[in-house]
Structure 1
Amino acid sequence: MKAQTDRNRSQVQLVRLILLFFLNLAVIYSVTTPLFEGFDEHWHFAYVQHIKTGQGLPRQPPEQYPHLARQEGSQPPLYYLTAAALTWWIPTDDFTTYLERNPKWGDIPWDYVDNLNYMLHRDAEQFPYRGTVLAVHIARWLSVLCGAGMVYNTYRLARLLFPSQQKLALAAMSLVALTPSFAFVAGLCSNDSMNALWASLTLVLLVRLWRQPTYKLTAQLGLVLGLAALTKLSGLALWGLTGLVLLLITWRQRNFNYLWRATALTFSLAILVSGWWYLRNLHLYGELTGVNMMLAVYERRAATFNLRDLYAELEKIRWSYWAIFGWFNVPVKQWMYHVYDLLSLLGGVGILYTLRQTLRQRNWQKLLKFTYLLLWAGVILTSLLRWAWITTGSHGRLLHPAIGALSILLVQGWIALLPQHGWKRKIILTGVGTFLWGSSLYVPLVVIPAAYAPPRSLTPAQVIAQTTQQTEVHFADKLTLLGYAVQPTVVTPGETTWVTACWRGDQPMHEDYFVFVHLRTPDEIIISQKDTYHGLGNFPTSIWPDGVIFCDRYPLRIPDTLPLSNPSTISLGVYHATGERLITQNSAPEPPDVQFSGPRLVKDTAPEMNYNWNRQLGLVRYDLTQTTVTPGEELAITLYWHALTTPSANYVASIQILDENYNKIAQSDIQLMLQQRPTSAWQAGEELTDQRQLQISLKAQPGVYNIKVIVYETNTLETLSLYQGQQLAGEPSLTLCKIRLLSE
């Protein structure tokens, strides 16, 4: 008896330690993440602000009923009402001053390595917090508490379902606590953590109700269901799960009186708590949920989005479930995602093995427990996939209402595959534990601070060490370029060259200036450029200390459609938001920028291009012999096509030469034929060499033009969707390169 008591005490202590760790971890996330650098966070707080300032609940659409909450203004209000109540005493008149967008923000993590900050950040955000900054952090800490509740409920749920597996419950709650994206979201001003809290508590109450049906539990369940529906629309899914469990309890007990009474009590309380919100929607918008009004504000999918595109979105969903931060643009190391994928795969295989063993043993009670967890996880996943089909909101955080169930299942799967004893078991457990604990701390202590850190101050000697060419070019007596360097000096299509530029602030500036870096060919065609605030978005000139010296590294990605090998030139300058360039003061006749030798561009060793249309027809490379033409001249171009599969129809490839305003100066549309066979008769793997001559219009005006390729169906003229690999491109046309049209 004493030994059992000691074990229970030890378990309680471990639970408390895990909760304490999570609370500290989530607070660290909330402190290290700059204001509004979480997905939709400024819209969530705008909802709070709308209530705080006495304007009531937001009403849609914002164009007609002004508010700053955008689509979040359609969310149920519980989190926002609670946050407003906690921060009512804080003046937040300065809220809009923190909404200064970074105009060069990049939102795709695998394409961008800079300008990760969605907003511009000032010293006023630093501790001690005041005004809006304090209010946002209090709203974040409300989410932290909700997240901690979710972690604890995971432990409770595992203990209720598998009471003999104490270590399972500890491992499952630890997995929730150590999932970086969950701790990150728990450190934001958002209703996601509160939604996850009510979901986890509902799962716990339903298991308790199954074990011992009482009207007290039924009443508690009704209250929680009402709170869930008043927090987020996905909380309504819990109502369906509750109805199913009540039906099963009735079937098991053969007591239909209980069904009617329990159902009436549960849903009456739920409607009493949340029904007013849905009646408001019905009155204002003519629908209970208001989701159509939300979708009118939200960014919806293109009409061409299909099941294959949805499948491609699964990568975003699974990676963001584990570890995507910021505005879906701050990733961790690529190898870490592979580890998370491996852990997920092993957990899934282990669960399938466990289910098979359970069926063989005819352990129906255990099977029912797994079914319960899988059912809820399936409901949330289906809901997310439906949302991803309609909108661009493919984010793994929307799985968080089921993260407790998923974590229990994953741990059960791992246990099933682990060696029962011996050194292998210890090594595996040590390795997995080290990775999970290490990654949970690595993100808030390394990844997030690095994404938003301004460049460090340097000495003149350090500038010399980082540059290959020292200069002193003054831009309007405001800032000075002290030196530069280019690495590597030889690049192939698809690679990146880095331009280091070192700066000095010469006087306080009250405006934010942009820096541009252009990579030009001998024909003066810009093939790559970077326009950004200094510090790659994190160090705008208006916050520079007087006399500061620092270096930036600007990435210039070489297009994978580069037409020719060439030397290159780099132009670097500074300009105002109006587009007006700051004049260099060294010599009046000089252009308002600095020019120096760039890397040599080498096409010959480039890998094949990775573009395709409708995942049927790939363009692997092309040949172009010149990038300058004159009116009336013929331009020769050769395309190399590759059938990824047997095309479903006959296709035409259109090559067009247009300027930025889509004024066309040449076009060639030819049905693709291989040995007199149209594309529908091709076999997977077949290739076609497609040679064209494009006649340049005699009326064409000198300038820079784009060569674009479009593929469309021969009979219907329907344009095919363009993909880069598995990723749907933004438009159906592929820009191969730019050419310059000279005057005759």
Structure 2
Amino acid sequence: DERLRRQNDLLRIPVVAQSESGTAFLYEGKQAPLYYWFMWPIHAMAAGTTLPNRVFLFRLMNILLASLAVPIAFITARRVFLNSQLAVAVSALIASMPELYVDAARVGNQVLAMILYSLFTLLCLKIVHKGTTYLPLAGVVLGLLMLTKAYCIAAVPSLMLIAIRCVIKAQAGQKARIWWSAIAAFSSAIFISAWWYLRNYRLSGAIMWFDAAPSQSMTLRQILRHAATVKWLPALDSLVASHVWFGNWSFLSVRSWMYRVFEFGAVLAAVGLFIIVIRAFRSRAAEDQIINPDDLFVLGSIYGAFIAALAYQTLMNSINFGVGASAGWYLYTVIVPEVILITAGLLAFRWGKEILAAGVMCFFALEMYATHFVLIPYYTGLIAHVPKGGLRSFHVSQLKQIGLTELLARLEINRPLFMTNPVWLTLWCLFLLNSAALVYIALMVRKADVG
């Protein structure tokens, strides 16, 4: 039949087609090369396999790489809160986010950017606590970041602000050493990554890519005037929604009220952070502080600079394409500082730990709903988009139309041969077990003593 014919055509794509040059504009030409260098040996070993096998392999590699964010988050959060249980809570919240898993499963360089940004965050925290000997190492990681994703240029002003803060707070005899460490840091970053940005300028006339600047000549006043016309609130709503959950390039989404639950939590955390800042000005006593002011400055600088970069992209998209929006899944690049800031903000309230545990449970519920009532029904043909763009609702009674055997058979389409029914069911059980374990961990963290 038609389905089988298409499956066979996919499997018969010749290996030589991998190296053929196309005639269309190469969008991926603007992607920095580090991730692709990192994955090239694996691709070379798997080059002779079918396309579904290679896609599965790289999805698996990306997920394994992304999992490094969890231990890095634990180490970073423990440094900030000086409490292992709260560090576990931060790690559990990150691991429970379904969109992070969706984003990691894409074959792309954002996962490596997330890991390097997480390491960069940890090193910046070490700079303000253990001295500027970590500045050159942070510069090396910054260079690798800029060679992974162009938007990682947002980390440059963050490191500048942190270095300047260290100079301001240092004693007179230490200022020169800090300046030299900062020079070494930025020299390292330039040495590692500058060649690629010069290459971009030679190819497209822009250091990032042609769409990172107005497509037509505009003065600064014209750009600022256009910025005033951008609908920033809808842009923010779109950013948050695609950060909470977005179903790949099928443009799937969940119920609108589900997004509002997480938006409310984000607003609550922002209010909590504001309270923390006010308390810091009123009292310098360490026992009154949920988070050290230096740590708050570092995390705020890193996350704030990245938000500013997304705002700039939103503005450029509005100017060049008439669409004032950006992609919320980019925020997973800075997920470690984001979740630590959210945790600190929630802890400003008496019921902060309970709210944090509730957040993990809400992500668990979102994962269960999105997987079983959106993704699986959509990709097995039980639901589809309506002509106006919306998505039909799935009802459990629809399973009677095809049965479990046919459902599993559809899930096996264009998958590696070893993804048989027993494998699918085993992985599904492990998925449920691990997801429930995160909820259990979050509930146990309620007993944490935040001192």
TM-score normalized by structure 2? Answer: 0.69
Q: Which residue of 2 aligns with 1:221?
A: 138
Q: Distance between the aligned counterparts of 2:30 and 2:196, measured in 1?
A: 11
Call closer, same or farther: CA 1:264–1:360 in 2, change over 3 Å: closer
Which of the numbers 49, 53, 68 marks the counterpart of 1:134?
53
Q: Which residue of 2 aligns with 1:88?
A: 44
Cα shift at 1:292: 4.3
Call closer, same or farther: CA 1:146–1:418 in 2, change over 3 Å: farther
1:282-681 map, 5 Å: 282-292=201-211, 307=229, 309-327=231-249, 329-363=251-285, 366-391=292-317, 392=323, 394-419=326-351, 431-455=358-382
Contact (CA 8 Å) 2:102, 2:248: kept in 1 or not? no
Q: Which has the higher strand share?
A: 1
Contact (CA 8 Å) 1:71, 1:295: kept in 2 or not? no
Call closer, same or farther: CA 1:403–1:85 in 2, change over 3 Å: same
Q: Which residue of 2 aligns with 1:271?
A: 190
Which deviations, in whole Å up to 9, do the C-alpha atoms of 1:696-722 show, x marking residues without a partner? xxxxxxxxxxxxxxxxxxxxxxxxxxx
Call closer, same or farther: CA 1:361–1:139 in 2, change over 3 Å: same
Contact (CA 8 Å) 1:141, 1:187: kept in 2 or not? yes
Which deviations, in whole Å up to 9, do the C-alpha atoms of 1:143-177 show, x marking residues without a partner? 223322223222222212221x3322221222122
What SS is found at the alignment partner of 2:113? helix
Tell me how large the CA RMSD over aligned residues is: 3.6
Q: Distance between the aligned counterparts of 1:140 and 1:173, measured in 2?
A: 22
Call closer, same or farther: CA 1:397–1:452 in 2, change over 3 Å: same
Q: Look up the equivalent residue of 1:196 and give its one-letter code.
A: M
Cα shift at 1:328: 6.4
Cα shift at 1:74: 0.8
Cα shift at 1:191: 1.6
Q: Which has the higher helix share?
A: 2
Q: Distance between the aligned counterparts of 1:50 and 1:233, measured in 2?
A: 30
1:240-279 map, 5 Å: 240-253=157-170, 254=172, 255-279=174-198
Q: Look up the equivalent residue of 1:156 and give its one-letter code.
A: I
Call closer, same or farther: CA 1:455–1:407 in 2, change over 3 Å: closer
1:692-707 map, 5 Å: none
Q: Look up the equivalent residue of 2:87 and give its one-letter code.
A: A
Q: Look up the equivalent residue of 1:235 and give its one-letter code.
A: C
Structure 1 stretches of at least 4 aligned residues deviating more than 6 Å after TM superposition: 49-52, 293-296
Q: Distance between the aligned counterparts of 2:151 and 2:81, measured in 1?
A: 27
1:134-213 map, 5 Å: 134-163=53-82, 165-213=83-131
Cα shift at 1:344: 1.5
Q: Distance between the aligned counterparts of 1:84 and 1:69, measured in 2?
A: 23
Q: Distance between the aligned counterparts of 1:454 and 1:323, measured in 2?
A: 21
1:106-121 map, 5 Å: none
Q: Distance between the aligned counterparts of 1:149 and 1:50, measured in 2?
A: 34
Which of the numbers 148, 151, 169 marks the counterpart of 1:234?
151
Q: Which is greater in Rg? A: 1
Cα shift at 1:450: 1.5
Q: Distance between the aligned counterparts of 1:178 and 1:195, measured in 2?
A: 20
Residue ranges of structure 2 left out of the alignment (5+ in a row): 1-6, 8-14, 216-222, 318-322, 384-389, 394-409, 412-451
Contact (CA 8 Å) 2:138, 2:185: kept in 1 or not? yes
Q: Which residue of 2 aligns with 1:97?
A: none
Task: Quote the sequence identity (%).
Answer: 23
Cα shift at 1:257: 2.9
Which deviations, in whole Å up to 9, do the C-alpha atoms of 1:474-498 show, x marking residues without a partner? xxxxxxxxxxxxxxxxxxxx9x99x
Q: Distance between the aligned counterparts of 1:294 and 1:77, measured in 2?
A: 21
Call closer, same or farther: CA 1:261–1:374 in 2, change over 3 Å: closer
Cα shift at 1:189: 0.7
Cα shift at 1:430: 5.8
What SS is found at the alignment partner of 2:185? helix
Q: Distance between the aligned counterparts of 1:353 and 1:72, measured in 2?
A: 43
Matched residue count: 357
Q: Distance between the aligned counterparts of 1:260 and 1:360, measured in 2?
A: 31
Residue ranges of structure 1 left out of the alignment (5+ in a row): 1-34, 36-48, 56-64, 93-129, 457-493, 498-537, 540-744
